Structures are given as structure tokens and as C-alpha cells.
């Protein structure tokens, strides 16, 4: 059953697909003034659009992402509808699958709160919290350079830690920026997502030009 958190009068509405969502993720959104409606994992794009969201969030969760074809189908349609998307952990893997990029079961899984990740966009290193046994295959990324770009890389084993869909307002990370009590190096991602939503809203707003007499 869907449920809502945050200020119902907020100017920013986010539909969250719940694959095992963590409470602190919701807190990170509501602390930033968002109104979030959490939808069950098998919700359709029609379910999400009924909330008229400004963005769609793809949550973390357990399991093999390749088995979740229902979610991949919905995410693909959300991206085609040009709705800003942000994914974390399992959400990251599902976003990749929606772009035709395969995931794999890792031999050495990532657990713990001390994984160094390089943000290749700004060159900064983040100490991150991770808890996953599946990942996005780097060789698959190489095959789909026309669709996505890598934004974050694990400095221990060079696995893919973040990606962005080219030409769309959709991005994701493999680790947990909401981690509490820490590290908090990656909390900026929530702010970046809201900036993406606001830019998208601004670009979608019709511009009215007064006629001159």
C-alpha cells in the first residue's frame, strides 16, 4: 500500500519505488522539504504518474536485479517520459538494466563503511558505505557508451559506482549516501538531484512573452 511522508504542500513531489527502502533515505528528502509518496515495487508508470511527481526515486533493496523485469520495464518508461530519476544501490543496478546494461553477481562483495570512491566528474574522493553483492558490469558500460557515462569508480577494485544516462535527467550510485551515522561525504547527491528536478521544472515551464503594441 502506498504511503506518504513530508510536507503535502511542498513544491517538490517525489515518487519512490520501494524495493527495500531505508527510512533515512526518506528523511534525507523530507529534511530538504520534499513530499514523498512511496510506491510498492511492482507499481506501474501509471501508478507513479497519478501522483504527478517531479521526480522518481529508485530505492535500495535485496536480491538479484536481473530477476526484476517488472521494475526494469517501469523505469524504462519513466526515463522515456523524461522524468528526473535518482537511484541508490539496487536502484542503480535497475537503472543500468533499463538501458540494456547487464548486471552480475560479484565474487568479492562490498560491505562496510570505508570504501573509497572517486567522483570522476569533480576529481574528489568520497568515503562511502556499501552493502551489495551485485554490480553493473564495466565491460557492459563500454558497450553502451552512447547511452551512459560512468560518474563514480571504486578505488579498491575499479568497479562502477555511479552512472548517468546521456541526454536524460537520470543518474544513480551503487553506494549509500544516506548512511547514518556516517560517512556523510556523499549527501550532496540529494541536493544535486533536487537541482536537477528544479532545472527540469524550469525548462518545462512555458515562457510567456508580452506582446508589444
Q: Which residues are catalytic?
A: 89, 176, 178
Q: Is the peptide bond before 183 cis (omega within 30 degrees of 0)?
A: yes
Q: What angle do CA 157, 161, 167 make, to 5 degrees?
A: 140
Describe the strand order of the beta sheet including 55-58 as a list of residue ranges: 3-6, 35-40, 13-18, 55-58, 85-88, 170-173, 160-165, 148-154, 103-119, 124-136
Any bridge partners for residue 129, and if so which? none
Q: Quick one: DSSP state of residue 210?
A: P
Contact 37, 16 (CB under 8 A): yes
Other beta carbons within 10 Å of 202? 9
Per-residue HEC secondary structure of 161-178 comes to EEEEECCCCEEEECCCCC
Amino acid at each position: 500500500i502506498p504511503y506518504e511522508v513530508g510536507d503535502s504542500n511542498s513544491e517538490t513531489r517525489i515518487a519512490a519505488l520501494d524495493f527495500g527502502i531505508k527510512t533515512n533515505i526518506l528523511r534525507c528528502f523530507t529534511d530538504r522539504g520534499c513530499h514523498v509518496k512511496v510506491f510498492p515495487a511492482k507499481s506501474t508508470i501509471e501508478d507513479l504518474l497519478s501522483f504527478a511527481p517531479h521526480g522518481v526515486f529508485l530505492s535500495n533493496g535485496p536480491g538479484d536485479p536481473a530477476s526484476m523485469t517488472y521494475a526494469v520495464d517501469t523505469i524504462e518508461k519513466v526515463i522515456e517520459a523524461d522524468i528526473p530519476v535518482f537511484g541508490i544501490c539496487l536502484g542503480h543496478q535497475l537503472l543500468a538494466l533499463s538501458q540494456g546494461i547487464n548486471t552480475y553477481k560479484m565474487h568479492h562483495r562490498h560491505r562496510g563503511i570505508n570504501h573509497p570512491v572517486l567522483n570522476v566528474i569533480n576529481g574528489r574522493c568520497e568515503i562511502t558505505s556499501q552493502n551489495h553483492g551485485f554490480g553493473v558490469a564495466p565491460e557492459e558500460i563500454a558497450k553502451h557508451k552512447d547511452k551512459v557515462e560512468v560518474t563514480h569508480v571504486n578505488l579498491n577494485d575499479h568497479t562502477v559506482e555511479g552512472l548517468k544516462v546521456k541526454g536524460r535527467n537520470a543518474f544513480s550510485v551503487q553506494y549509500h549516501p544516506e548512511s547514518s551515522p556516517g560517512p556523510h561525504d556523499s549527501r550532496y547527491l540529494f541536493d544535486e538531484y533536487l537541482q536537477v528536478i528544479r532545472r527540469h521544472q524550469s525548462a518545462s515551464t512555458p515562457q510567456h512573452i508580452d506582446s508589444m503594441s
